[in-house]
Every structure is written in C-alpha cells, then in structure tokens.
Amino acid sequence: MPLVRVELPAGKPAEYRAAVGEAIQQAMHAALKVPLQERFHIFTEHAPADLVIDQTYLGIERSVDAIVVQVTLNEGRDAEVKRGFYRTLADGLRERIGLRPEDLVVNLVEVKRENWSFGNGEAQLV
C-alpha cells in the first residue's frame, strides 16, 4: 500500500489531478503489483515561487509544468522493477494529460512494514 504525494503547479483542474492519480495508480499496479483499490494519494498545489524544480538538472530540460511524484512504499523491489515503474508512469502521464517525460520527477521512499498504521492505532502489516 503506497502513499503517494503529488506536488504540482497551482491552477490545474480537478480532472487533471484525477487523470494524474489514475496514471499513477495504473503504473503502480502494472509495474509494482499494487492492487488497484489501494489508493492513498495526496495532491498539493504550489504557486510558482513555492515549487522550485531545477529546470536543467542532469541535462534534462524541464518546463513550468513539471510535477514531483513521491511514493512511500514497502522496501524490497529491485532496480529493474523501479525503472519499469518510472517508464510506465511517464508513458501513462504523457498519454492521459500530455505531460512531457522531462517534466516528471519521481522519488521512491522505501520503508519497513512496521512503519505503517492504517487506523485504530495498530500496525496492521506486522
């Protein structure tokens, strides 16, 4: 059960956010084997001065439409699986909302299973 945070420029319509969420969920399902119904997404919009993404880091030309997707998930997936997720997500966002692959920054944060509580003050995964 990943927790997804999406940081994006302010002013995007609800349909845009929904399409981003659907692309993320489909990519996690296809590449990371996350069940489709396990959806925990947080969207935060930022004014231009509050979403600072280096526009040329590593020689990649990013635009003002760049977004950051951070996924906190259980540890244990290998680099090949993660690369597959990055590619699947970039392709899905291009198809759904026309986001250039250059405008997608992804960060995976791996945690141990005991670092989750889904309610009732319990650690359900241990």
Is the pLDDT assigned to residue 28 strictly greater than 90? yes
Is the pLDDT assigned to residue 47 strictly greater than 90? yes
- Calculate mean pLDDT across residues 58-66: 98
Note if 35 is an active site residue: no
> pLDDT value at position 27?
99
Tokens read off for 55: 């526009």
Tokens read off for 100: 């250039």
- Calculate mean pLDDT across residues 33-54: 96
- Calculate mean pLDDT across residues 22-49: 97
Cβ contact 72:3 at 8 Å: yes
> pLDDT value at position 1?
84
> pLDDT value at position 19?
98
- The domain spans of the chain are 3-115
The pLDDT tens digits of the residues spanning 67-117 come to 999 999 999 999 999 999 999 999 999 999 999 999 999 999 999 999 999
63/51 Cα distance (integer angstroms): 12
* Mean pLDDT taken over the chain: 97
> pLDDT value at position 33?
96
> Which of the 8 DSSP states describes residue 126?
-
| % of the chain beyond a pLDDT of 90 | 95
The catalytic residue among 2, 9, 13, 48 is 2
32/47 Cα distance (integer angstroms): 32
Pick the CATH number of 3-115 from 3.40.50.20, 3.40.190.170, 3.30.429.10, 3.30.930.10: 3.30.429.10
30/88 Cα distance (integer angstroms): 8
